[in-house]
Amino acid sequence: MKARSIIDTSQRGALATAFDNLTAAVRAIKNDHIVESAPGGAVYCAPWNMLESILPHDGDTPMANHVRLYNVTYCTDAWEGRRLTELDDDDALLLSSFLSDTPTAVGPESNYGVYLASFSLAADGPAATRASAEGDNPVQIAAALSAFDQRRASSKSLGPVRRPILPGPLLDQGRADGTLYRVKYEDAEVRETLTRLRDPLAAIGVVSDKTAEPEAIYELVRVIVSEVLHLYQYQERRQEQEARLVANLPISSPLIDIDESDPGRLYLRSPDVLFTGGGTRILVSPTCRDAAAAMINLKHRLARHGLLGTTTIGLGE
Percent of the chain scoring above 70 in pLDDT: 83
What is d(CA 190, CA 45) in angstroms, rounded to the nearest whole number? 27
Confidence of residue 157 (pLDDT cuts 50, 70, 90): very low
200 HSE (CA, 13 A, CB side): 21
Residue 25 has pLDDT above 60, yes or no: yes
Per-residue pLDDT averaged across 42-51, rounded? 90
What is d(CA 137, CA 286) in angstroms, rounded to the nearest whole number? 9
Point out the least confidently predicted range of 56-60, 192-196, 204-208, 295-299: 56-60
Closest of 295, 297, 289 to residue 315, by C-alpha: 295
For CA atoms 260, 261, 265, 269, give the dihedral sign: negative
Per-residue pLDDT averaged across 288-316, rounded? 89
Its pTM stands at 0.87
Where in the chain does DSSP place strands (E)?
Answer: 42-46, 68-71, 112-120, 139-143, 181-182, 242-250, 257-258, 266-269, 280-284, 311-315
Q: pLDDT digit string (tens) for 81-90?
A: 999 999 999 9
pLDDT in the model for residue 192: 98
Asked if residue 175 lies in contact with residue 156, where contact means CB atoms within 8 angstroms, the answer is no
What is d(CA 315, CA 275) in angstroms, rounded to the nearest whole number? 18
Give buried/exposed letters for 276-306 (b at 16+ CB in 10 A, else e). Answer: beeebbbbbbeebeeeeebbebbeebbebbe
Confidence of residue 154 (pLDDT cuts 50, 70, 90): low
pLDDT in the model for residue 163: 44
pLDDT in the model for residue 90: 96
Per-residue pLDDT averaged across 24-50, rounded? 92
Q: pLDDT digit string (tens) for 89-144?
A: 999 999 999 986 544 455 666 788 999 999 999 866 555 555 444 555 688 999 99
For CA atoms 70, 126, 50, 264, give the dihedral sign: negative
Per-residue pLDDT averaged across 224-235, rounded? 95
pLDDT in the model for residue 85: 93
Q: pLDDT digit string (tens) for 162-221?
A: 344 444 444 455 677 889 999 999 999 999 999 999 999 999 999 998 887 888 899 899
Percent of the chain scoring above 90 in pLDDT: 56
Task: Measure the CA angle with vertex 269, ends 268 and 271; round to 5°.
Answer: 140
Per-residue pLDDT averaged across 4-18, rounded? 78
